[in-house]
A = this chain, B = another copy of it.
């Protein structure tokens, strides 16, 4: 027990400065602190966590800017880097939990009610940063709750091999839809077609005319678009939506690093086609997490759903892993193995 009271090294990744434009590794830095592996006497609402995996997600980019107006999340301050959805271990009790904490080896968490206890451990623990974590709930809620897919409908997913996109495609297939995805390399397009069961896929970087690409893939038009990228892609999609189409706006990764986002010109399409364009966040749907697990855990066990991860090793590689999201370097869900 004496050993537990000794301070050990606690490596952290923090924000060096507010980010403008594309984030760079130098916008973050690695610091080395120390931590006592024991919670102080009487701190009954504090738990000590050893972090196993951490998640890299595109929305983190928002918090790295100095926001000039209120948002649903605050800006980080330089010196701070606290990202949602790590896979972490309650060091004292040996429970497995997931939730939000800092990018560091050990964390003292003072609001443990925000951590979710992991019940199923026969699947890879890293899945709780992806298919069984926030990205999984995002795909599930965005497709099933926001878009209400019906059998036979035409579904398009952009950034389709990413943490969320690969799941949206698989959920849409489970719902009996025809699914097409786009991604930014041949390797990713192959994954969509051969691993995730998309009906068709294309490399958007090789399509000079996105409108024409969508017309080729969806001669009948698109009922549901799961929006991950924004900008020109959204404009092309609007031209190809069908009557009473639904667009779940999950993210707009192509826009996050631009000083001024691109203009979207075809919103007039919303009127005649009665299109619904709706933003959403996974955080509003955690009450569905038990129902979500009832679907996904058996699907994973039976091989009916698969998940591709891109795992960086060690906290020192976390900045590069996060930065790589914005150039599409990752193949599948990007995460970092900390311990």
Contacts and interface: CB of A to CB of B under 8 A. Distances in A.
Contact of A272 (B73, B255, B261, B272): B73
User: Within the oligomer, what is the number of copies of this chain?
Assistant: 2
Contact of A252 (B71, B261, B268): B268
A262 B264 CA distance: 8
A284 interface: yes
A280 interface: yes
Contacts of A260: 265
A18 B16 CA distance: 58
Interface in A272-288: 272-281, 284
Interface in A202-243: 230, 234, 239, 243
A230 B270 CA distance: 11
A265 B280 CA distance: 18
Contacts of A274: 278-281, 284
Contacts of A277: 267, 270, 276-278
Contacts of A270: 249, 277-279
Interface string A243-259: 10000011110011000
Interface residues of A, number: 38
A255 B263 CA distance: 14
B276 A281 contact: no
A313 to B, nearest CB: 31
A271 B251 contact: yes
B281 A230 contact: no
Nearest to A67: B272
Nearest to A251: B271
B265 A261 contact: yes
26 contacts: A72-B272, A73-B272, A230-B267, A249-B267, A252-B268, A255-B268, A256-B268, A262-B263, A264-B264, A269-B279, A270-B278, A270-B279, A271-B280, A271-B281, A272-B279, A273-B279, A274-B278, A274-B279, A274-B281, A274-B284, A275-B278, A275-B279, A276-B276, A276-B277, A276-B278, A276-B279
Given A264-B264, A264-B265, A267-B277, 5 more contacts: A73-B272, A261-B265, A262-B263, A264-B267, A269-B279
